[in-house]
């Protein structure tokens, strides 16, 4: 035997995972984020009966964390609330445009961290878009608080979007090209 060192055997999953393109990885994480978000919402709304809870109802989980039922008519942190049909239509149009633009970017990316981030943001945005199309607003459940301070109520889609944005920042700040001279090309 000559030449290359011997690699340890890979499981079928490892071999197929490593063979994924960045686009495939991003699409996979978009699907995972969307399915986790919608699965959790269906469980909370109908499995645990949160759909019928009033605005003051909550379940105490930890001294700093409750599960609550909040219907958010706006976007993140309740910004731009849409109480009328035209406002909801405007938010849906904006979300579709954002998902379309991010999907185009994902389709053309060649870096795994960027694809992961884009996939999570796309999946989270689609999860909230499904809510807006089905209910006219977004279902939020997680409420953290401590020492008299409250954090905004959020959901699994918001978590995916936040982690996705962190991955986008990681990619932008720590990729090898980020430290190069602006006039220097990567092949130089």
From the candidates 37, 131, 140, 171, give the one annotated as an active-site residue: 140
Residues 126/35, Cβ–Cβ less than 8 Å: no
26 with 115: CB under 8 angstroms?
yes
Q: Which of 24, 158, 171, 181 is catalytic?
A: 158
171 is catalytic: no
Query: What's the pLDDT score for residue 85?
Result: 73
Q: For residue 15, name the pLDDT band (cuts at 50, 70, 90).
A: very low
pLDDT of 71 above 90: no
Residue 163 is predicted with a pLDDT of 97
Could you confirm whether 158 is annotated as catalytic?
A: yes
- Amino acid 174: pLDDT: 83
Higher-confidence residue of 9 and 104: namely 104
**Please, what is the average pLDDT of the chain?**
83
Q: Which of 44, 40, 65, 41 is nearest to 53 (CA)?
A: 44
Contact 29, 119 (CB under 8 A): yes
Q: Is the pLDDT of residue 13 over 50?
A: no
Q: Looking at residues 60-70, what average pLDDT do you find?
A: 92
Half-sphere exposure of 73 (CA within 13 A, CB side): 10
Q: How far apart (Å, rounded) are the C-alpha atoms in residues 115 and 95?
A: 19
What is the pTM for the complete model shown? 0.80
């Amino acid at each position: 035997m000559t030449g290359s060192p011997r690699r340890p055997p890979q499981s079928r999953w490892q071999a197929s995972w490593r063979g994924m393109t960045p686009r495939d990885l991003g699409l996979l994480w978009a699907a995972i984020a969307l399915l986790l978000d919608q699965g959790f919402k269906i469980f909370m709304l109908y499995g645990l009966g949160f759909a019928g809870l009033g605005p003051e109802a909550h379940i105490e989980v930890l001294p700093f964390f409750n599960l609550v039922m909040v219907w958010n008519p706006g976007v993140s942190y309740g910004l731009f609330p849409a109480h009328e049909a035209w406002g909801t239509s405007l938010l849906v149009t904006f979300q579709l445009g954002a998902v379309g633009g991010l999907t185009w970017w994902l389709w053309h990316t060649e870096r795994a961290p960027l694809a992961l981030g884009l996939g999570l943001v796309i999946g989270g945005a689609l999860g909230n878009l499904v809510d807006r199309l089905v209910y006219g607003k977004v279902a939020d459940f997680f409420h953290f608080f401590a020492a008299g301070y409250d954090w905004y109520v959020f959901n699994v889609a918001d978590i995916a979007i936040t982690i996705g944005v962190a991955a986008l920042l990681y990619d932008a700040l720590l990729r090898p090209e980020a430290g190069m001279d602006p006039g220097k090309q990567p092949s130089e």
